[in-house]
Amino acid sequence: MQMPTQTLRRLRALPPFPLTHLKGVPVFWDDFNSGPGGFLKQALSVGDTIAFSTNIIKSNANRWNFADGNEYSAYVTSEASFWGQRSLRIGGNQLTYNTSASGDVGVQDAAAMVAVPSGIIGIEYVINFGNAGQQNVSPKAFRHLLSIERRQFVKTNPSFYELWTSLEPLASNIGSVTAYNSSGTPSVILSDTIPDSNGQFSYNGFSAGDTVNKGTDASWHRFAVTADMNVGRYLDVWFDRFYFDLRSRGTGQWRTVSGSVTAPIPMQDGIYRFEFHAMKNGAGSAFDPYFYIDAVCVTDESGFIAVS
């Protein structure tokens, strides 16, 4: 007999911070208040110019790592916090964090790995757009991208299958939410002209741009995604009060990444990697974004939401 949802949740440990959107069983969380602060460990990704033997912070027991960029722009800090006293900061100066030889211009990431055997994954966290509140910054071209990644389990190419969603705080001075198709092309799913699934439009909801309102500059925002990583299907996306049902996009929305046996991070069946990015949109951008991320929770949503 299947136990009621509330009974099942009481039998499992819960994060010390509240969730707004996810309903599944928490399998991973971090409020960055316990464990080591400071720099993250390098993920030993192929193509990284940082020498493996000399630049890994081997003493850091933090469960987070980075693959693009370097440790100077991915660290746990007390500079800002939504819950407790610390958060994860990613991004920064182009000259400092863009050291990857893989062609990722102006990209800094931070990632962790988690076991969700069902493949029906939920991830929820809060994000502060850091220096996005600077007015009259040109070009207004940067994004925070969330990548949920599954590794192929046999020698093949492509070897990574990823689902991408992103936030673009300064897009058209209003801000937008985007989802990506299998070719890596972003489609805007929220703007001042494109409504969410409830018919709501965004208007300066990101608290960024030329018309920042008093008391909202660089405020914290809540972002959540559920996905079926077995077939590459977006399920639900939330940004603050906005909701998006993306099931109609169908399966096979993977953004595939080339690289067979040389892929950087081997993952067993049921293990997934989620990766936060601070990204400049174009090598010529003069603006180097950084973000603060806090209250991260990953859940197993199987049995709690409708997949089809």
92-120 mean pLDDT:
72
Domains in the chain with CATH codes = 5-300 (2.60.120.200)
Lowest mean pLDDT among 50-59, 63-72, 200-209: 50-59
Q: Percent of the chain scored above 90 by pLDDT?
A: 41
Q: What is the pLDDT of residue 275?
A: 94
Q: What is the mean pLDDT of the chain?
A: 79
> What Rg value do the Cα atoms of the chain yield, rounded?
19
Q: What is the rounded CA–CA span in Å between residue 49 and residue 131?
A: 28
Q: What is the pTM of this model?
A: 0.85
pLDDT in tens, 164-191: 999 988 777 778 899 999 888 889 999 9
Lowest mean pLDDT among 66-80, 209-223, 271-285, 288-302: 209-223
Lowest mean pLDDT among 2-6, 32-36, 55-59, 270-274: 55-59
pLDDT in tens, 204-218: 667 655 555 666 666
pLDDT in tens, 222-277: 999 999 999 999 999 999 999 999 999 999 998 876 654 454 445 567 889 999 99
Burial 140-153 (b: 16+ CB within 10 A, else e): bbbbbbbbbbbbee
